């Protein structure tokens, strides 16, 4: 379906600065709960409580970049003593930088693996890394096929396209799903991520769960399909699809709307084909279950929900932190910033930029966990 060009990202970012600036001007004085010096003072600015100062470095998931951009603008407008630098290097790279002790936290679209938790004990003094689910994202298959503005795929057909088993747009399998479309014989150019990516991990989890015969590979951050072309980051996928007739790829929904790209409707086998969108994604994310142990809040998603109108190709971006043993020079600022992103205001900003807020029961546990970080 052709997505209408949207200016919501630009408008929200501009509005965020204006609103946050107003909040900063009406800050409610100083509330020092720590007994420390100037760097320990907490200042309540509207619903953002500032604490700590200095540079807060983080990196990882490119899928959450647009959400992080808005969060950072809001927070820094209220809390000028803290400079937040988030680099969308990809989930795999972000976790590695965190495990090397180079960042205060990492963003990852996949929960930590056991070997990564074990490695984190060298960085988290007397503790270990944990997953905090902060933002839901919808993975959209984006395409550029001349004359085709409404395209339906089922998981098996999508899997065969990305595994180079279907190579032309007028293939009988695609025609069967789109009997009214004028499908050309254009060669399919399927783009996948070149970097280790949580988006890839979740995209292939969906393919493997919904069409295991067509996608027999184990889900992973590293691409396992045959053939195709690679691009770096979500922005690289979006750019290549936009520039090449016959192209298809997968990105977070915000990159689809931000680049005015067509998105595929999914034939889930339940009711009518489902469009990629936050409201439809919410129906599926509502079935997520916490499977992490202790303070870890890793989730298990249902990629094959039997709910009409539920869009199942989703991901959750986690902020990776130490439960204990976080960097003391950035601990207060990190807790302050993550408390804002998990707050009602921080979560409310997500649906305006094509992200999905976390379910109430889950984000409540995130807030409690952030408060107890040390």
Q: Which of these three, 284, 310, 342, is where a domain ends?
A: 284
The pLDDT mean for the chain works out to 88
Is 158 part of any domain?
yes
Provide φ and ψ at 183, rounded to 5°: -80, 125
Is 122 part of any domain?
yes
The answer on 165 and 56 residing in a single domain is: no
Cα–Cα distance measured from residue 296 to residue 290, given in angstroms and rounded to the nearest whole number: 9
The answer on 150 and 130 residing in a single domain is: no
The answer on 280 and 329 residing in a single domain is: no
The answer on 77 and 166 residing in a single domain is: no
pLDDT higher than 90, residue 208: yes
Is 116 part of any domain?
yes
What pLDDT is stored for residue 29 in this prediction? 31
What pLDDT is stored for residue 357 in this prediction? 93
pLDDT higher than 80, residue 241: yes
Provide φ and ψ at 100, rounded to 5°: -85, 0
The answer on 67 and 19 residing in a single domain is: yes
Is 291 part of any domain?
no
The answer on 250 and 233 residing in a single domain is: yes
Domain CATH code at residue 51? 3.40.190.10
What pLDDT is stored for residue 347 in this prediction? 95
Closest CA to 310 of 289, 284, 278: 284
The answer on 150 and 279 residing in a single domain is: yes
**228 conformational bin, left if phi > 0, alpha if psi -120 to 50, beta if neither:** left
Q: pLDDT tens digits, residue range 13-55?
A: 333 333 333 333 333 333 333 333 334 334 444 579 999 888 9
The answer on 273 and 152 residing in a single domain is: yes
pLDDT higher than 80, residue 10: no
Residue 338's H or E segment, with its range, is helix 331-341
Cα–Cα distance measured from residue 372 to residue 125, given in angstroms and rounded to the nearest whole number: 15
Cα–Cα distance measured from residue 60 to residue 84, given in angstroms and rounded to the nearest whole number: 14
Cα–Cα distance measured from residue 366 to residue 360, given in angstroms and rounded to the nearest whole number: 10
- Residues 230-248 as b/e (b if ≥16 CB within 10 A, e otherwise) read ebbbbbbbbbbbeeeebbb
Those residues whose C-beta lies under 8 Å from the C-beta of residue 273, and which sit 6 or more positions away, are 152, 265, 266, 267
pLDDT higher than 70, residue 97: yes
Is 113 part of any domain?
yes
Is 37 part of any domain?
no
What pLDDT is stored for residue 46 in this prediction? 53
pLDDT higher than 90, residue 7: no
Provide φ and ψ at 135, rounded to 5°: -150, 135
Is 277 part of any domain?
yes
Is 341 part of any domain?
yes
Q: pLDDT tens digits, residue range 111-141?
A: 999 999 999 999 999 999 999 999 999 999 9
Closest CA to 141 of 66, 185, 199, 67: 199
Q: pLDDT tens digits, residue range 259-314?
A: 999 999 999 999 999 999 989 999 999 899 999 999 999 999 999 999 999 999 99
Q: Which of these three, 239, 262, 284, is where a domain ends?
A: 284
Q: What percent of the chain has pLDDT above 90?
A: 81
Cα–Cα distance measured from residue 128 to residue 31, given in angstroms and rounded to the nearest whole number: 31
The answer on 270 and 157 residing in a single domain is: yes
Angle at 92 between CA 88 and CA 96, to 5 degrees: 95
User: Max CA-CA distance within the chain?
Assistant: 71
| Structural domain containing residue 178 | 138-284
Cα–Cα distance measured from residue 299 to residue 306, given in angstroms and rounded to the nearest whole number: 19
The answer on 157 and 279 residing in a single domain is: yes
Range from 17-26, 55-64, 164-173 carrying the lowest mean pLDDT: 17-26
């Amino acid at each position: 379906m052709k997505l209408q060009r949207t200016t919501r990202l630009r408008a929200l970012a501009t509005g965020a600065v204006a609103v946050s600036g107003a909040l900063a001007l009406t800050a409610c004085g100083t509330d020092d709960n720590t007994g420390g010096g100037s760097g320990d003072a907490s200042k309540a600015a509207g619903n953002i409580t500032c604490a700590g100062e200095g540079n807060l470095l983080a990196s990882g998931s490119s899928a959450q970049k647009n959400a992080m951009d808005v969060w950072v603008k809001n927070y820094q407008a209220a809390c000028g003593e803290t400079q937040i630098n988030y680099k969308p290097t990809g989930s795999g790279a972000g976790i590695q930088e965190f495990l090397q002790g180079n960042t205060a936290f990492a963003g990852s679209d996949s929960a930590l693996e056991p070997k990564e938790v074990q490695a984190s004990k060298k960085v988290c003094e007397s503790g270990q890394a944990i997953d905090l689910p902060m933002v839901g994202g919808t993975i959209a298959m984006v395409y550029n096929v001349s004359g085709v503005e409404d395209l339906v795929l089922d998981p098996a057909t999508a899997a065969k396209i990305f595994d180079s088993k279907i190579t032309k747009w007028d293939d009988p399998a695609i025609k069967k799903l789109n009997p009214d479309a004028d499908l050309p014989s254009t060669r399919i150019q399927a783009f996948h991520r070149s970097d280790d990516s949580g988006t890839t991990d979740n995209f292939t989890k969906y393919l493997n769960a919904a069409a295991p015969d067509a996608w027999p590979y184990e889900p992973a951050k590293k691409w396992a399909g045959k053939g195709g072309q690679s691009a770096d980051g979500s922005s690289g996928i979006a750019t290549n699809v936009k520039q090449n007739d016959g192209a298809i790829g997968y990105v977070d929904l915000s990159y689809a709307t931000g680049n005015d790209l067509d998105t595929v409707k999914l034939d889930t086998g339940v009711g009518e084909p489902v469009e990629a969108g936050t409201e439809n994604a919410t129906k599926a994310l509502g079935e997520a279950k916490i499977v992490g142990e202790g303070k870890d809040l890793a989730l298990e998603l249902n990629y094959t929900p039997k709910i009409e109108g539920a869009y199942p190709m989703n991901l959750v971006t986690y902020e990776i932190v130490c439960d204990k043993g976080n960097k003391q020079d950035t601990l207060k600022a990190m807790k302050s910033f993550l408390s804002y992103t998990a707050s009602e205001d921080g979560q409310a900003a997500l649906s305006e930029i094509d992200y999905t807020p976390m379910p109430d029961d889950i984000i409540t546990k995130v807030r409690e966990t952030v408060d107890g970080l040390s």
